[in-house]
Structure 1
């Protein structure tokens, strides 16, 4: 009897995958928080397909390859990172765990990867970067919206640059928020006690308005390529990346306006439902980039094999959001570290089992695509 109780206790705490972390982390969140983090817009098509679209790709294993010295490291934004994964800017980390972005920053530094800091961070850019530096100085980027208050926008840029951020990630897919039924049904508001120091919003200000109305109050829907990119260039020496690109046309515009990179992203399925999954949008974006501009991807990455597939299809690096939220909800910094450790180990094993000894060796030759009418199609 005693042995059975021990076995049950151990099995409840075993976290082996991001799916496990999602399940157990989500259990610890009340409904309004869980739905805010996990849901997308309207019918949830895009948020679902972001993950499931990876499943049509198959891995072409190579055998009898010496992978004993396989290296996962790569260079992103001038920084050597431990593997081609970074943490996307996502707001309200402190709604998942009180340590919020501070815990995330320490977890990223411990794993040796970059972190994006959201304008909706519950801690200041200075504090988040300092928390990471207490472990290791790897690097951070600052996410930014186009704001009606240009003076506030400029203050954020100056603070981020002074604190040591390497780039601005301009979120370009949000002239308005997507139709998020769950937020409206739950009358979602930022919980009491949490603030947004980067956009200078106190807890009292936030609790007085819904998330949607608060966003509309400060965000500008008049943004444009011709206005935003030159405006940013005049105010910072940081790299300028465009986040939210899904088409070849916008990659070409990013090249035309001298941007440093693009992140293929659909906002985690939270904006326009029915857009393509990011892994499906990636190939045309890589082709349009033609090696003249860097291409990263986020959205739906749940396994190390997903990272491998995105790199094989031409992404330089992948970014994750929700897995870190689930890790924080599950066990704070330790949970966030667990998420990164899982993905690192899965990616390492995937590389070795496909016979790749470096990131440079990962290519379309490593993938096939499932066909309904016959054998696996090579890419």
Structure 2
């Protein structure tokens, strides 16, 4: 818009009417604001501020029956249908774990939350929406069953905060951490990697060696990591679809990781997006954002955990795909065969 001063709440509401068909994220980008600012501008007009802690949000969600859970980053969106049963609270990490909704929640990034009612072409849409300190979406929950509207209304009345501002004070967006390698520690990285007994030990290992995930992948080498061509991501999705096997698809941001466990049945490309459009599970992936891809092999007590992981040009993790653990084994021969057949990165492309 060419403005140096952020638009007022009144201007934001007017723009939403003018560009009614735009998605919230796209309209926010057009206005040069964040999604959280766009939502807050409608406070009192279908928007209610509530406490942003996962205990509050999960408590409400658990009363709403079958809902749609959405977690995204800039390049990938994971949408799952299910209920918010089996929530476990935690000061640093919390989780929801059942056969449909599988989430890892990081409360320190849950800073703004709203109950939102918006008129759409199909009627009034109700959602819980959570944002981080910079105003970027962390997690969203969409009501699906009208039978739970009374529970929604009761929760909104009870959870509403005393202050309901139309303007938010936001922090600067933290930049994506660039790849951090420590070649002097390569031998130690490989030695400790080979001794892992659980995939969760990997992040502790890289932190101890003053690296991060992408930095470690860039230098680890065989047999731990194989750089793949960027086109391997789309190939992998098609191969999983053709094989009819189940996989685990991890999509996240700083505040939430959402996991789909199951098959990939229907792929529908549209422009730069590859889309999984299955009952109860949708995935929307910007293939043109994929800059680096790795096949990763981590040892565990249950066998080798093999993943395919994609990163964007800034070094941000887009998503990860693992084979589904069966019968207490992480190693899945069908998944391993798919990963082994994916095209490697051309030698001249390796930095």
TM range (shorter): under 0.3
Give the strand-richer structure, 1 or 2. Answer: 2
Higher relative contact order (CA 8 A, sep 6+): 1
* Larger relative helix fraction: 1
User: How does the TM-score come out when normalised to structure 1?
Assistant: 0.25
TM-score, with normalisation over the residues of structure 2?
0.26
